[in-house]
Amino acid sequence: MSTEERSAPREHTPHPNYLAVYGVLLSLFAISVAGPLWGMWWLTLITAFGVAVVKATMVAAYFMHLNVERRYIWYVLLIMLGFMLVLFAGVAPDVLARSGQNWQHLRAVQDAHGAARH
C-alpha cells in the first residue's frame, strides 16, 4: 500500500530464537509420526491431535507473532474456532450419530396398535 503505513506506531519486539522454535516443532512432528506405531488408539489421539494443537499454537504464537500482537486478535481467531465447535455440536446429532433419524413416535405406534386390536 504505502511506505507511510510502516510509520504507524508499532513496537519492535525482540525476535525469539526461531531456530529453537523450529527445533521444538520438528521434535513434536516426530512424536506425532511415531505415536501411532504403538497401535494404541488413545496414544494416537494424543500424539496426533494433541500435538497438532500444540504445534499450531506454537506456529501462531511465535511465527505469526500472536504472542506480541494485541490480545484481541487471539480472541477473534478463537471465537471463529468457537463457532466451528457450535456448528459441530449442532450438526453432529444428525450427521455423526444420526440417532435423530431413528426415533419413533411411541404414542402413535401405541394408538395404531390399539386401533388394530379393536
Partner 1 sequence: MASAHEVQVPLATRRSATGIPTGRLAVWWVLASEIVIFGGLLASYIMLRLHHPHWHEEAAHTNVWAGGFNTFVLLTSSLFAVLGHQAAEEEDGPRAARFLRLTVGGGLVFLIVKAFEWTNEIQHGFTIYRDLFWTYYYTATGLHGLHVLVGMIVLWIVARDAACGKHLHRVELIGIYWHFVDAVWIFLFPLFYIAR
Partner 2 sequence: MASETTGKQQSFWSRYVFSTDHKVIGLQYLFTGMFMALVGGFLAYVFRMQLAFPGMSVPLYGVVTPNEYNALVTNHGTIMIFWVAMPVLIAGLGNYLIPLMIGCDDMVFPRLNRLSYQIFFLSTVVILVSLFVPGGGFGGAWTAYPPLSASAQYNHTPYGAPLWLIAVALEFVAFLLGGINFITTVMNARAPGMTPWRIPIFVWMVVIASVVFMASVGPLVAGAVMLLFDQLLGTHFYDPKAGGDPLLWQHLFWFFGHPEVYVVLLPALGVVAEVITVFARKKLFAYKTILYTSFATGIISFFVWAHHQFVAGIDPRMAHLFTITTLIISIPIAEMTFAFIATLYGGSIELRTPMLWALAFIAEFLIGGVTGIFLGANATDIYLHDSYFVVAHFHYTFFPIAIIAAFAALTYWFPKMFGRHMNETLGKIHFWGTIIPFNLIFIPLFVLGAAGQHRRIYSYEHFSQLFTPGLQSLRVLATSALVVMLLVQLVFLYNFFRSVWRGEKAEENPWKANTLEWLAPSPPPHGNFATMPSVYRGPYEYSVPGRPLDFWPQYAAD
Q: Which residues bind partner 1 (CB under 8 A)?
A: 1-10, 12, 15, 18-19, 22, 25-26, 29, 32-33, 35-36, 44-45, 48-49, 51-52, 55-56, 59-60, 62-65, 69-70, 73, 76-77, 80-81, 83-84, 87-88, 91-92, 95-98
Cα separation of 43 and 50, whole Å? 10
The answer to whether 89 touches 66, Cβ cutoff 8 Å, is: no
Q: In the bound complex, what is the minimum distance in angstroms from residue 79's beta carbon to partner 1?
A: 8
What is the residue whose three cell numbers read 440417532? Answer: 99
Residues found near partner 2 in the complex (CB under 8 A): 1, 79-80, 83-84, 86-87, 90-91, 93-95, 97, 99-101, 103
Look at the chain and count its residues: 118
Query: What cell does 7 get?
Result: 510509520
